[in-house]
Chains A and B, each alone.
Chain A
Amino acid sequence: MIPIGYYLILSGILFTLGIIAFFIKKDLITMFMSIEIMLNSANLAFIAFSRNLLSINGQIVVFFIITLAAAEACLGLAIILLIFRQRKTIRSEEINLMKG
């Protein structure tokens, strides 16, 4: 049997990859994909704890997180399409309307 620490290490590695991608990527779509990687790593930690504690509550939380990710992707990509239609760019450095 694989102990739970290894799942947490895998989850931490995936979360680190997501954070690095969020910082170094320039287009908004890839930044959103890195958010999906981070959500998946959190899901993995929840499922591992659910298996370890013999409780099913972690799986319920993962169900809600997946629903939340669906709503987030739907709205976020609609906003990205709107930004692209108005500004003709999705590079995060060129979207500086709030900069004054």
Chain B
Amino acid sequence: MSLYSGFIYFFGILSIFLGIMVITRKNAIHSAVYLIFCILSIAGLFFLLQAEFIAGIQIIVYAGGIMVIYVFTILLIKLEVVKGLKRRWEIKLITAIVFSALSGEILYLLLRKREALLPEEYGIAKGTVQAVGSYLLRDYLIPFEVVSLLLLVAMIGAIMLSRKKV
């Protein structure tokens, strides 16, 4: 096993562990901190998959921007420690069905569909700022502008929602 594969397995197992820690903590601020580290380990996977620009965006926007909004919201809300894992039985049943279906699909892929797991030749997929930027401003120019409009709408909506008098 090469060093590359070792890093891939390390970040993958780390992200699964941190995801489990996110959904099992009772205090929401602990969940938020574990989620930050889960996002950082997924960013490490993006680096190893040669999507360097997206990995940087993941660290800056997700771990640096979105999670700060989460932490501030948790600090603004007086959060009683909610007892988790105590739902009505219908919701428990739905959770069990969804969990068994999804994990059964994963196990089926792992056990039966071995040809999807065969190694293949990798070339070099350039995920640098230059490549992504040229695609973004040449082929995807209109979606780029639409997304900037979406961010403007979200900003105006958040300002409108967070006024004192609504």
Which B68-96 residues have a C-beta within 8 angstroms of A? 69-70, 73-74, 76-77, 79, 82-87, 91-92, 94-95
Give the residue among A3, A57, A82 with the most B Cβ atoms within 10 A: A3
- State the main secondary structure of chain A at its contact with B: helix
Q: How far is the CA of A69 from the CA of B65 in the complex (A)?
A: 11
Instruction: Give every chain B residue within 8 A of A96 (Cβ-Cβ).
Output: none
When C-beta atoms are compared, the residue in chain B nearest to A12 turns out to be: B106
Contact size range, B: 35 or more
Chain B binding surface, main DSSP class = helix
Known: A3-B119, A16-B106, A24-B84. A66 touches B99 (CB 8 A): no
B58 to chain A, nearest CB (A): 7
Whether A36 pairs with B74 at a CB distance below 8 angstroms is no
B117 contacts A6, C-beta separation under 8 Å: yes
Query: Is there an interface contact between B54 and A33, defined as CB atoms closer than 8 Å?
Result: no
9 contacts between A and B (CB under 8 A): A2-B119, A19-B102, A20-B95, A37-B22, A60-B135, A69-B66, A74-B154, A74-B158, A80-B77
